[in-house]
Every structure is written in structure tokens, then in C-alpha cells.
Amino acid sequence: RQEKIIAEKSFIEIEKGIPANMSEEQASESEKSLAKKVAGTLGRGVVKGVKKLVRYSKKQRQIRKWKDAILRRMKMSHLKNLCFEQKVSIKKTELREDKNGELYWKEFNCTKRDLVSRLKNRASLKTIISFAQRNHIRIKDVLADRENKMRDWELKKLDDKTKKDRSNFLLQLEKAIREFIPMRHYDKELPYQDTLASVLRKEFPSTRIEVPRGSTRPDIVVRGVAIEIKGPTGMKDLQTIADKCLRYPQYYPRGM
């Protein structure tokens, strides 16, 4: 129980102790220093939990950066409309003193900076993105950065799992597929199949293409795992996926 309390306090220290304007490098060093400090106090077992909290903190900080980047591109009218949708007040009050020394509260309209700050705390990233897209605010660069960062997080998560159990073939295969990036866009499905198979064959030499087994012929097979490729295709072709999901496990019990 004591270790849990200390770990929770450590997370609070991460959240409150790292300024919002701190650079990524400075924040990373601060988090590493905290992890070492906790390691010396509690031992390696609790450190794993603290590291998860550190990663969570970094993700939350990055999410706030994306929110900030999108919100700052909005006009004041956009911010007010979003506040209305999210039931966020666009007014603020300040304590003032009159000529007689009496204190009173005076209401003001929020500045753009105030509204950005409030919406960062009250609205989800998904909500902010949806509003921006509906109002034709250009955020393609932010979305691209978000996609790349989320992909990196997922790969890091898979890498951690693989390190824990290097014999886990399925995790290694999944990681290899997720890391695969085609050299260019293709109009047909076959080039995607060939290039992915070539990449997988470097790590898994037994990789084969279109191996017939029973009534099935998967696009790629790696150590008894069936891999089906779906590139640019029509709705009719996509409907075959459900049928394959039902048939393939009979011949490829290791997975599809």
C-alpha cells in the first residue's frame, strides 16, 4: 500500500512538476531523473509502474500540444461556438476593489487565450478535431503528426511486449507488419502483397505466397499464420473477408 501511495505521488510530481513550456528533451530528462529517484527508494518492481505513468504523462502532454495547435488556428467566433457546444463559459470574473476599499466581482469577456486554455481542459482531442473539420479549418499537418506519433507509441508498446517474451512469434510478426511502409502508392493489391512478403521474408525465411490448403489460398503464410492483403478494392471484394475469417481458422489455427 505504501509503495502504491508513493507511486501515485510520483505521478502527481510528473504532472505538476514539469512546466507546460518545457522542451521535449528537458521533460524527458526530468522524467528519467524521477524514475531513477523512485527506483532507489522502492526497487525495480514499482519502477515498471512508474514508467507506465511517465509514458502516460508524455502522451497526455502531447495530446494537449495537438489541442493547442488546432485551437489557436480557430477564429474567436469558432472558439465561442465550440464553447457553446461543450457548455464552456465564455465569461470570466475578477476580484476588484472600489474607491471605498470594498471588494466586488466584475465579469469580463474571455480573451482568445482564455478560451483556448479552457477548451484544452474541457474538450477531448476527438471533439476538437471533429469541430475543426466541420468548419474547414486546415489541420492536415496536425493529423499527420498525430498519426505518426500514435504509430510510434503502438510500435513501442509492441516492442516492449516482444522484449518480455522473444519467443512470442505472433507479436514479432505483428510488429513487422505494423512497421511495413510501402515505397509508394499502388493501384492494385498485388504489389502490396509482393512487397510485404519480401519484407517479411527477411525476418521469417519461411514466408510463402498463396499457399493452397483445403478451400483456402491466403495471400501470405508465415509459419502457419495466414495473412490476407486488402489494398485498393471495391465493396464487393471486402465482403469476402467475413467468409475468409470463418474458413481460415480451420486450416490455420495459429491465426489469421
What range does the domain containing 192 cover?
183-256
- The dihedral formed by the CA atoms of 138, 144, 149 and 151, expressed in degrees to the nearest 10: 140
Which pLDDT value is given to residue 37? 57
Pairing relationship of beta strands 91-97 and 103-109 according to DSSP bridges: antiparallel
SS3 25: helix
Tell me the CB-side half-sphere exposure of residue 135, using CA atoms within 13 A: 19
What is the total count of domains within the chain? Answer: 3
Q: Is 118 exposed, middle or buried (0-12, 13-18, 19+ CB in 10 A)?
A: buried
Mean pLDDT rounded to a whole number for the chain: 79
Same domain, 92 and 33: no
The answer to whether residue 97 is domain-embedded is yes
Same domain, 115 and 127: yes
Same domain, 56 and 124: no
User: Cα–Cα distance between 171 and 27 in angstroms, integer?
Assistant: 30
Same domain, 51 and 87: no
List residues bridging with 209 in a β-sheet: 220
Q: Range with the lowest mean pLDDT among 10-14, 109-113, 147-151?
A: 10-14
* Residue 8 pLDDT grade (very low, low, confident, very high; cuts 50, 70, 90): very low
pLDDT beyond 90 at 145: yes
Higher pLDDT, 13 or 126: 126
The answer to whether residue 10 is domain-embedded is yes
List residues bridging with 94 in a β-sheet: 106
The answer to whether residue 16 is domain-embedded is yes
pLDDT beyond 60 at 58: yes
Q: Range with the lowest mean pLDDT among 38-42, 116-120, 182-186?
A: 38-42
Cα angle value 53/149/6 (rounded, 5°) = 5
The answer to whether residue 158 is domain-embedded is no
The answer to whether residue 217 is domain-embedded is yes
User: Cα–Cα distance between 32 and 130 in angstroms, integer?
Assistant: 35
The answer to whether residue 25 is domain-embedded is yes
